Structures are given as structure tokens and as C-alpha cells.
Amino acid sequence: MGPALAQGPILLRGQVVDAETRQPIPNAQVGVAGNRIGTSTNDEGRFALSIPAALQGERLEVALLGYRKYTQVLPPLPAPELRIALRISPAALGEVQVTGSVLGIVREAIARIPRNYPTRPTQLTGFYRESDNDPAGQPRYLAEGLVLAFKESYLRRTAEGEIQIKQSRKVDLRRDRTPIRIDWAGGPFIAHMGDFVHRRSQFIDPAHFKDYDYRLAPGSTFQDRPVYVITFGPKGGNRRAAFEGRMYIDQDSYAFLGAEWHYTPAGLNRGARDIADSRRLRVAYQPYAGRWHLKTVWWQTEATLPVGPPLKFFGEFLTTAIDTAQTPRPGYIERAQYHDVFLRNTVAYDSAFWRGHTTLLPPAALQKRLFDQQRQQQADSLFKPTEASTDPQEKKLSAFDRFLKRFSYGTHLGAWPLTVPAAGLTVAYAPVGYGLQVQRTASVRAQDLTVVTQFEYQYALTRELAVSLATQRLYRQFKGDGWEVGLSYQRNLMPHHRPLYGRAGLGYLRQTVGLPLGTFDNPDAGLRVAGTHLGADELSARIQTVNDVLRPSLGVGLELSHRFELVADASYLIPISSKTQLQLDEESGFFLFRSSATVDLPAADVDLRVNDQPTTRLPWQQQHWLLTLGLRYRVR
């Protein structure tokens, strides 16, 4: 009897993990010698198998439906714990009926999205409600409405979509003199942003499986259907996983029936503009015409801002009708936009529509389908039936809100019309009775383009007429600031489509065009220039022209969104007056107390030469045509 036969069974230990995620795989089948002996892995993916001496030269096999079979010759025993990595088998996934791998269940559900969800555009009619509650749970405002959500095919991964508001009513319980009012924007779009299947949220994105820990949780039904209840959360020490929660996957069809989750600290910190302290969602789907469609989205966000009270936003969308026909999409005018505030939507209150509805969901069974029953009771109390023909809860805008609704601002970029030939320039200034000596020779380069930027504030007097105040600045070799006051008229040329405005305006403008001459020491603490005291140790100088002009303009404006408008204008500058000046500025001392002074030319103590010839005119000349392109922002 040889040495091998004299040995007894030896224990082989190992762990089976997913090759991609390195997550342990439970219930994998481990066998030796064509499964003459075998076992299965535990919840941690580990196994222990006693190997008889007669089989110690055979092959080890590890198999699990959805993964490629793994085989190797048994290592010499005894041996350290084996670590076996199984790779996914896409072909096998399509045949999965019941899999022991939790991640395999999720993979199969993702693979069956084209089979389980709409592959053509659909339209959801739904009830939407939102509120912002105070710390005691009482609503600061409540708004609800009938909305249409237009969804693209689920074959396309997207969190975007169109929303149309058909009916609306609202009650604002905040005091008229509340100093700071924060309104939530984009609320109805939770019908798209909360659809985790359509957007392939991070926790069902294979690229992020390595960041999450998936586990099978207790529970077997969801909406009276047998399901796999799978929890997900960041792996230990992982800072990339944005969500933590649980999802429900149908055991027969492998469809995602719903999920509930919250954002992790990593998820809240991901967006540079995300001010939320917490965010929670609950989402469910429903079957219709052989496919699963979005049923409801419940969204809660809490935030503490640097100013104002803490905020607690609730939004809920509930589908009440599904249209799978190829319905036409709403035009630009009918579509809501993500940055619109639902509380300020302009859909007219329809008393005939609302008179018979405590909510949009008169059947009690539909009312109970809302996740948030507490807010349902609040809505029943606040929206009492009324016979009035106007919305009794509609609050008049405060004076500040009315101002913001008319206020806009914007920035413009243009080519300032200036003829600039090459020239040599010499400036000398020696004020009588002082020791200051300013003498500088400079070269003026020929220049075809002088850049000007303008920042404009505008206040609408009527829907079409507005007053404006603007500041502007020149760049490149010339420096100079300017200002403008004006009156403008704007008319929508396409009232039934995306607005295209015809624009006309008239402004009074003053612009300085200056050439810097450098800095100079000031030996006179009591220096006075043109009546202004300049006592700083260091002064800077520049020679400049100051032009006053009238600026009639014509242009067009294209609305990019409800907030932004792209504008282009052509202006003709009509000169009113022009003068040449030497300007001195203090460069030392506290900046808020620095002074400036100008000397109008001609002046006895200023010698100006261009190309060695005495003159009082600078070589650059103001021209007439000004072209600008700008972007305007409406605050409300």
C-alpha cells in the first residue's frame, strides 16, 4: 500500500467571488471528479470539502447558473484556502430562472429591461402634489395638479423627459412679509428623475457593482407578487456609492417592481450645487398591456440653507392613465421646464374642473395608492370646495416678488467701433508749483478689433417696454469704462412657438478710451489736480478720450429657456460730444479712499505730441456701427 493510499481524507477550503465585483457568491456548486463529491458555498462564498485520498489528483469544478464554469486540477493537499473568481456568462443569463447569486438576480433584471418595460414612447397622465413643511410638519405651501409625463423608450437610458401641466391649484400659507422665501423648482420632473429603471440609477448600473454590497433580505411579496427583496449599500470604506436602500424584483419576470432608497453622504456631496442634508425616494411600477410602467414616485428632500428656515420638500407623482399610442409631443409653449417653480406656474385655475374634486383622485381606492396619506389629509383640509370662479387660495405677489418678476440682467460682448492707426505718442505734464514730473513716450499699435463687454440691468415697465442701466469696459491695448441708460422695446414675433423677439432700443452712452502711461512717484503730499487732492506716494497716468453718444439699436432675441434669452443687436453711435483728457489715479493707500483727477486738453501744463507733432487730438477715432451678442437672465 503506497503512501497516498495510506492517507485519510484532507479538508479543502476555499472562497468563491465574482471576478468583476469581488463580492462573495453564495450557493455556488463545488464538485470534484465529475461531482462524485460536492458541496455549495455559504453566504460568504466559502466552502469546505473533504477530499478522499483516491480523488486528490482529480479536477475541481465550480458552477453557478449565470457564470462560466470554473475548473482546475486540485492543488497538492493540504493547501491554503483557495480563492476562485467566477466570470459572468451573458449567454447563460438569458436562461436564468432562479439563481442563488444575489448579484446574478440584479444582472438578470437589467438584462430583461427591454422585455419588461416599454420600448416605444408612452404618455403618463398623473396626479402631482408638492409641499414644503416647517419643522413641526405643517405645510408652508401646498400645490397639486394634473400633469402629463412623456417618456422615451426604456431602451434608451435617460433621466430626462417632457412634462406638461394641464391643471393646477395651490395654497401659499407663508406670511406676506416673510423676508426670505425659498421656492422649489423642477418638482413635476420627479416622474423622470425618480424613474430608477429608465435612468439606470447607479445601484443597477453594472459599472458600479464593484461599489455596492448586495444582499438577499427577508420578505417575499411586493404589491401581492412574489419578489426577491435585495438590499444595497456601499461596501465597507467605499466613497463612490451614492445610494443605500432596497429593491423588489419579480420572481417570475425579473422586472423591477419598485425600490426605496436614500442618498449616502457621498451621493449628497457629488453635486456642486446640491444643498440637501438628506434625500429619500420611494418608487413603484405597475403592469399595463404586457409591460411595466411607472406607477408612483415619492420624493423627500431636507435642507438647511445659510439663510432662512430649514426646508423639507415633499413631492409625489401618481400615474392615473397610460397612453401607449404615438401621441404628439407638446410644443415649446406647452412644455414645463426643469427650472420652473411649480408653485408659480401660470396655468389658469379652472373652477369647473376642481369644483367636484377634493383631489384629482375621487375614487377612494386611488387615494389610498398615494404613499403619503398624511399630506392627503392636509390637502383635503386646505383645498375645500368653493363656488368662486377664481382660486381662493391664490396669494397676491408681494412688492418684492413683483419687482423680481420684472427684473432681469445680462452680459454682452461686442466689437467697439474704433479706428486705430499706428502712431508714436509723447505726453508731458508738470503742474505749476509742484515737483511732479509725468513724461512718457508710448507706441500705439494698429488695431482692427477692440473688445467691449457690457453688464446690463433691466426692469420691465410693461410686457414689452423696459428701462435699463449698464456698465461696460474695453479690452486689449486700450482701457476704459463706460455706462449707459436706455429704453427698449421687445415684441414676440412667434407667439405660438419658441419666442423670437424683435428688439428696438435707444440709449445714452458715455465711454472712455484710454492708453495707460504707467506709474510715477509723487513727491508732493499736498498735490492738487483740477481741485482734487492726490496725496498718494504713487500715481498712475493715462491719456484718454471721453465720448458721449446716442445709441439707437435694432436686434433679435431668442428664448433659450424660460430664464435665458440670447440677444443680438446692431447699433449706430451718434456722437454728441468728445474730449481729450489726462487722468491721474492714486495707486497707494487704502483702495476705498483713493482719488482720481482729470485734466481737460488743451491745458498749459500738458504737452501732447503725436508722431512728434503738437496736438490736442489722439490718433484713434470713434466710428459708428456697434455689433453685440449677449445673454439675458430673467430672475422670475
Q: Decide if pLDDT at 80 tops 70.
A: yes
Q: Which carries the bigger pLDDT value, residue 381 or residue 82?
A: 82
For 123-146, what is each residue's pLDDT tens digit? 998 989 998 888 877 788 888 899
d(CA 70, CA 61): 6
pLDDT at 636 (0 to 100) = 77
pLDDT at 359 (0 to 100) = 44
In one-letter notation, the amino acid at residue 175 is R
d(CA 410, CA 402): 19
pLDDT at 230 (0 to 100) = 92
Domain coordinates in residue numbering, the chain: 3-100, 113-344, 401-634
pLDDT bucket at 404, cuts 50 / 70 / 90: confident
Mean pLDDT of 611-631: 92
Q: Which carries the bigger pLDDT value, residue 600 or residue 93?
A: 600
Q: Which long-range contacts (CB under 8 A, 24 or more apart) does 461-467 make?
A: 461/406, 464/489, 464/490, 464/491, 465/489, 466/490
Lowest mean pLDDT segment, chosen from 71-80, 322-331, 394-403, 580-589: 394-403
Residues contacting residue 207 through CB under 8 Å, at least 6 positions apart: none
pLDDT bucket at 625, cuts 50 / 70 / 90: very high
Q: Quickly tell me which residue has 484710454 as its cell.
A: 514
What is the three-class DSSP state of 91? helix
Indicate the burial class of 356 (C-beta count within 10 angstroms; 0-12, 13-18, 19 or more): exposed
Residue 31 Cα distances to 13, 54, 59, 98, 503, angstroms: 12, 15, 8, 20, 81
Question: What residues does 538 pair with on adjacent strands?
Answer: 521
Residues contacting residue 446 through CB under 8 Å, at least 6 positions apart: 420, 421, 422
Q: Decide if pLDDT at 365 tops 60.
A: no
Lowest mean pLDDT segment, chosen from 176-185, 241-250, 435-444, 508-517: 176-185
For 144-164, what is each residue's pLDDT tens digit? 899 999 999 999 999 889 999
Question: In Å, how far from its chain's centre is CA 211?
Answer: 24
Q: Which carries the bigger pLDDT value, residue 367 or residue 550?
A: 550
- Cα radius of gyration (the chain): 37
pLDDT at 200 (0 to 100) = 96
CATH of domain 401-634: 2.40.160.20
pLDDT bucket at 309, cuts 50 / 70 / 90: confident
Q: Top-level CATH class of 3-100?
A: mainly beta
Q: Decide if pLDDT at 627 tops 60.
A: yes
How much of the chain, in percent, has pLDDT values that exceed 70?
87
In one-letter notation, the amino acid at residue 274 is D
For 417-456, what is each residue's pLDDT tens digit? 999 999 999 999 989 889 889 999 989 899 888 899 999 9
pLDDT at 91 (0 to 100) = 43
Q: Decide if pLDDT at 612 tops 80.
A: yes
Q: What is the pTM of this model?
A: 0.71
pLDDT at 392 (0 to 100) = 46
Examine residue 78 and say whether the peptide bond preceding it is cis (omega within 30 degrees of 0). Answer: yes
Could you count the other beta carbons within 10 Å of the beta carbon of residue 233? 20
pLDDT at 616 (0 to 100) = 87
Q: Which carries the bigger pLDDT value, residue 22 or residue 508?
A: 508
Mean pLDDT in the chain? 85
Buried-exposed string 572-601: b where 16+ CB fall within 10 A, e elsewhere: ebeeeeeebbbbbbbeeeeeeeeeebbbeb
d(CA 345, CA 247): 34
Residue 226 Cα distances to 99, 100, 290, 471, 509, angstroms: 15, 16, 18, 67, 74
Looking from the CA of 449 toward its CB, the CA atoms found within 13 Å total 6
